[in-house]
Amino acid sequence: MIRVQEEPFDPAAETASLALRSGNAGAVATFIGIVRGANEEAAVTRLHLDHYPGFTESVIGRMAAEAEARFPLLALAVVHRYGDLGPGEPIVFVGAAAEHRRAALEAVDYLMDRLKTEAPFWKREDGPTGFRWIEPREADHADRARWTSEGSEDARD
Amino acid sequence: MASVRLLYFGYLADAAGTRGGSVDLPAHIGDTDQLLDWLEPSLAEELRRPSVRIVINNEIKAGTVPIHPGDEIGFIPPMSGG
């Protein structure tokens, strides 16, 4: 299940819905990304997310399919917001259900690393002194590279 | 004259002063390189940065790519979700 939406979402409701869809899962792992009130010591009053309607959904759909091919999952959920968000608001929800914990935990970790570097979103931080567009950090690319090994399905630049 | 949709995302929309829309291209423009030559030079300079990718009809393309009437051509800076 993938949703890209402007409206806020309720992480607890998303988790419950995922658990309901996963049948006899022995493990449900979730990640919730939250807008920080400051980044590198600069105050952030608002985070604006630009997205590419159609393309964004299609890229996340491919990532989710690759996660399902890579880990034995019973259900998967990605909810991502766009538009204007304030500090403390959930921006992304990733949840995976599996028979055992390792697959669920790793699928969430894998999807977050890919979302951070490959999902078509562009973030602008607005603060008291102006705004700045932010790009993935070196650490994000290093995290992403952990999942790429020779011969793996998603091994590409 | 071929009509295409040009779209700009993130800081590129600021650079272009627009999020994009339909554009009628002169008949001689047949690929993305010719398109960039035709655009306003300061915008083209931004779009030619190595970090900028071109998305044609929802597929990321590399290098110089042919353009066809009706194509949707998006210019995207480095992506970052989550």
Cβ separation B79–A120 shorter than 8 A? yes
Tell me the pLDDT tens digit for each residue of A21-73.
Answer: 998 899 999 999 999 988 877 889 999 999 999 999 999 999 999 999 999 99
Task: Write down the pLDDT at residue B31.
Answer: 96
Better pLDDT: B46 or A152: B46
Q: Does A83 touch chain B (CB under 8 A)?
A: no
Q: Are B68 and B3 in contact (CB under 8 A)?
A: no
Better pLDDT: A157 or B26: B26
Rounded CA gap, A54 and B5, in Å?
14
Q: Does A81 touch chain B (CB under 8 A)?
A: no
Residues whose CB falls within 8 Å of the CB of residue A110, separated by 6 or more in sequence, listed in order: A67, A70, A71, A147
Task: Write down the pLDDT at residue B2.
Answer: 83
- Give the pair of three-digit tokens for residue A95: 């949840």
* Listed residue (A49, A54, A109, A110) closest to A80, CA to CA: A49
A151 band by pLDDT with thresholds 50, 70 and 90: very low
Tell me the pLDDT tens digit for each residue of B18-54.
Answer: 999 999 999 999 999 999 999 999 999 999 999 999 9
A149 band by pLDDT with thresholds 50, 70 and 90: low
Pairing of strands A27-34, A90-98: antiparallel
DSSP state of B3: E
Mean pLDDT for chain A overall = 92
Angle ∠(B69,B73,B77) on CA atoms, nearest 5: 170
pLDDT exceeds 50 at position A150? no
Q: Are A90 and A36 in contact (CB under 8 A)?
A: no
Q: Which residue of B has its CA nearest to A32?
A: B82
- pTM (2 decimals)? 0.90
A157 band by pLDDT with thresholds 50, 70 and 90: very low
- Give the pair of three-digit tokens for residue A89: 């608001």
Task: Write down the pLDDT at residue B1.
Answer: 65
Q: Which residue has the tokens 């009130």?
A: A37
Q: Does A90 touch chain B (CB under 8 A)?
A: no
- Give the rounded percent of residues in chain A with a pLDDT score beyond 90: 80
- Give the rounded percent of residues in chain B with a pLDDT score beyond 70: 99
Task: Give me the amino acid identity at A134.
Answer: I
* Mean pLDDT of all residues in A96-119: 97
Q: Does A133 touch chain B (CB under 8 A)?
A: yes
Q: Provide ipTM, 2 decimals.
A: 0.92
| Helix pair A138-145, A101-118: axis angle to 10 deg | 140
